[in-house]
Amino acid sequence: MVLLCAAGYAAAQKPAPADQALLSAYDAYKAGSARRFAIATSGLDGHVLLPWLDYWRLSLELEQAAPEAVEQVLARHAGSYAADRLRAEWLKVLAKRRDWERFGAQRPLLVRDDTELRCMSAQAGLQREHPEAADAARKLWMEPGDFAPGCAAMAEELARRGLLSQDAVWLRLRMLFAASQTNAMRYALRYLPRPEQPFESQLGFAQREPERLISELSSVRQQPLERRGAREAVLYAGLRIARDDPTAAASALSGRLGVLLAAEDRAWLWGQLAWRSAMRLEARALDWYALAAESKTVQLGDEQLAWKARAGLRAGNWRVVKEAIEAMSLEGKSEPAWIYWHGRALASEGNAVAARAGFQRIAGGTDFYGLLAVEELGYAPALPPAAYQPGEDELAAIGTREGLVRALALFRLGLRSEGVREWVFSLRGLDDRQLLAASELARRAELYDRAIAAADRTVALHNFGLRYPAPYREVFGEFARAAGLEEAFVLGIARQESRFIASARSVAGAQGLMQLMPATARWVAAKSGMKDFLPARVTEVRTNVTLGTRYLKMVLDSLGHPILATAAYNAGPGRARRWRDARPLEGAIYAESIPFNETRDYVKRVMANAAFYGALLQGKTVPFKQRLGQIAARDGAEQPEFLP
């Protein structure tokens, strides 16, 4: 296996006859043709991917399958990813058949889980009258979004047994209309008694003409509405206004809209307005959070509190930061970001002992806040003193594990999505030595994303060369120097963009090691005078890195800071500029207050990547706060050049 990996699984090879037959079977499975599948799989009984073949075959006929046939396959391939995936689908069939006895026998054996299966388990518990089932079902009732069939069946069972209160229905409705999930709202309405339901026309009115609804109701009302359905429709109208114009919604809430709502409902809506305003990076958000706090009965959720803390950070108001974090749930305040910022808030009050205890909880982690916490404790971030290098005997042993053998075979055949799932499933339960051996196995196969995924999971033994590989080093180094960029920064971008998979293509169409959009690639090629550029070449390593580094340099020169350039690389230069503040900000505060979840996470990861690549390539670390630096204030007079 090790020799095969050294030969390169990533290289394109002509499939052997058995592999070609398997690919034909896969095509038949995707087309839903059991007949074609049976023809293609004739003679493939001994193939290394037999668990997948059995899974595909049964999936085509699972609705009609006999339990004995399914259970035989599950037993034959016990412990495999394909068996676990088959079991998940089989459980959904059993729930539909209401075969709760078999469902109960198979459910504990499932490794992977999803919300629909948890709903089905709760429904099974309700059927058997387990005492904890009702609480589990009510918790699932509050999951956002449309209900899958299994969750809809659970909700019906909960309501049929009289275990779904009207308050629970209204809570779900508020959550859904705060998220603008109108289809799910209409489904939830059916669980209210008819007199309590807002009229469909009134809800539609609130969505289409919210200002008119508020105006008409307030012209004839001088006190809060008595009927809850009408009040909820008015709240929905207020949220609809807030999505487009929070200022207009706040003005209405201080006047006509406020007349129609009780104090508690007004406070809830102020909390919603404050949340939306904070995500727009508006200073007035803190004033609106204060109005929401006037009602002691309204509890803000963790996401609202997170944005209150971010608003406090941008305003330099450490008291607000501390209050917001301390009001979060235990799970929320345990995130490294909020442990770090809570420590900073405590330090601002002079409580150095408590602050230090918080920093010690997360120091040493390889993430953005682990690096910052180390420096708050007075130390310099550093790589582990020695890297653990797996021996050839360990590589030989890990290379015989059936799940990894199957994953590598899937990658070799071009079935990357299936290969990734098999690989991730097969890393379960491995110790640090085995994880690093698996990482080296993947590196030799040029599956750099899988090498990173395995090395990232180690707890005590580490190899940062595997965790932060630098394939195509000569190319990255050459073009980083040509563009005047730090090589570590360029590698940090590429690691986050593609995990060094040269053929990577995103759902949006970005391609290659540095994930260039076709239009951006053409623009950079034209702007930089590249004469021989062809769109078909954008995934070629040298072409992609050339264009990627040139674009990154243009963005960096235009915005003037690596954090801004990183945000721009992910979300566009215009947004990166708009996210600055009227006053200078710490780089870490700018990164934490980026409104897009994806971009916020991306910037933090790229900056941490760059720190570790700098240490690996140069043998020394730059202080992380120095790398993050300060973000200059907005300049209203600047005339930025166009950048895609």
Give residue for tokens 């809809």. 152
Residue 569: name the closest of 555, 549, 550, 583 by CA: 555
Q: Which of the residues 376, 422, 497, 592 is marked catalytic?
A: 497
Question: Can you read off the two tokens belonging to residue 12?
Answer: 């394109």
Name the 3-class secondary structure at 225: coil
The CA-to-CA distance between both ends of the chain, in Å, stands at: 45
Q: How far apart are CA 605 and CA 413, in angstroms?
A: 31
Q: How far apart are CA 210 and CA 212, in angstroms?
A: 5
Please classify residue 217 by burial: count the beta carbons closer than 10 Å to its beta carbon, then call 0-12 exposed, 13-18 middle and 19+ buried: buried
Containing H/E element for 128?
none
Task: Count CA within 13 A, CB hemisphere, residue 69.
Answer: 11
Question: Can you read off the two tokens belonging to residue 578?
Answer: 């708009």
Radius of gyration over alpha carbons of the chain, in Å?
28
Containing H/E element for 631?
strand 630-631
Residue 577 identity (one-letter amino acid): R
Q: How far apart are CA 426 and CA 438, in angstroms?
A: 10
How open is the CA angle 32-38-43, to the nearest 5 degrees? 140
Q: How far apart are CA 249 and CA 239, in angstroms?
A: 8
Q: How far apart are CA 45 and CA 21, in angstroms?
A: 12
**CB neighbours of 234 closer than 8 A, spacing ≥ 6?**
206, 213, 214, 217, 225, 257, 260, 261
DSSP secondary structure of 434-467: HHHHHHHHHHHTT-HHHHHHHHTT-SSS--HHHH
Q: How far apart are CA 599 and CA 591, in angstroms?
A: 9
Q: From residue 614, how far is each of 381, 546, 608 by CA, in Å?
A: 11, 21, 10
Q: How far apart are CA 452 and CA 591, in angstroms?
A: 24
Q: How far apart are CA 231 and CA 72, in angstroms?
A: 56
Q: Sign (positive/negative) of CA torsion 149, 151, 155, 157?
A: positive
Secondary-structure breakdown of the chain: helix, strand, coil percentages, each rounded to the nearest 5 = 65, 0, 30
Respond yes or no: is residue 216 known to be catalytic: no
What residues are labeled active site?
497
